[in-house]
Amino acid sequence: MMQTDVKSAQVTSTNLAYADTTRVKAVTVSYEENGTVVLKDGGSGGTTRFSFTAPAVKGSVHILFPGEGIKFNTNVHATLATATIVVFYG
């Protein structure tokens, strides 16, 4: 069984959430109407590992990923449009 400390990073504009190999365990997304969040492995041009498109109303959602979470081999890069995200990783 793998055991790691879980940390978090809030991202409010397109930027790196974490700059090394990690597993994303969960995210909390706060969004405006039709906001979007894309998490990529390897920077803005990297491989998409998670994508979320908000409904046509303002709100927030917490998403817990099953098992060991989503593995990012290089880094966790968040591309945001009218949304903010808290990334829980470890």
3-state secondary structure 22-75: EEEEEEEEEEEEEEEEEEEECCCCCEEEEEEECCCCCEEEEEECCCCCEEECCC
User: With contact defined as beta carbons under 8 Å apart, do 16 and 22 qualify?
Assistant: no
Taking residues 10-27, report their average pLDDT. 96
Confidence band, pLDDT 50/70/90 cuts, at residue 2: low
If you ran DSSP here, which 8-state letter would residue 10 be given?
E
* Mean pLDDT of the chain, nearest integer: 94
Distance from C-alpha of 62 to C-alpha of 64, rounded to nearest angstrom = 7
Residue 46 has pLDDT above 90, yes or no: yes
pTM: 0.91
Q: What is the mean pLDDT of residues 10-25?
A: 96
Dihedrals φ, ψ of 58, to 5°?
-70, 140
**Amino acid of residue 62:** H
Say yes or no to pLDDT of 1 above 60. Answer: no
